[in-house]
Amino acid sequence: MAEQTPPYWLLISVLFSSQPLTPALAMTLHEAAYELYSRGEGSREVAGDLLSGRVTNLRKDMSLGGIAGPAFEAEIETERGSGTVRFMLTRQGLELMKAQAPAAPSKPKYLN
């Protein structure tokens, strides 16, 4: 049985959005933010059928009730216009993504 991606509401918690977010848009933002978080990078461009813009790693953790995680901000352009999204990756989502990550390929013992 193939592994499925966890639902977006387990992965991302939106604190503010000036644009309505569809599940596909939320997953696109999550993927960009997760890559930034995993690599320790500051920002990156996102582009696709649904949006274009930039996601920025705010490099701080946020907490809202029982939800906590690293904070991000995105300036986006969609078919509905431009907007800002402030969100966090949830700790539960980070743990799920880490569990699903493929193991790093092992180095060969011999080069011959």
pLDDT class of 1 with cuts at 50, 70, 90: very low
What digits encode the pLDDT tens for the residues 10-23?
778 888 999 888 88
Q: How far apart are CA 48 and CA 73, in angstroms?
A: 18
What digits encode the pLDDT tens for the residues 89-112?
998 888 888 888 765 555 666 655
Q: Within 13 Å of residue 21, how many CA atoms lie on the same side as its CB?
A: 23
Q: Which two tokens stand for residue 15?
A: 């604190």
In terms of Cβ atoms closer than 10 Å to its own Cβ (0-12, 13-18, 19+), residue 51 is: buried
Which has more confidence, 3 or 10?
10
- What pTM did the predictor assign? 0.80
Q: How far apart are CA 70 and CA 37, in angstroms?
A: 8
Q: Is 22 strand, coil or helix?
A: coil
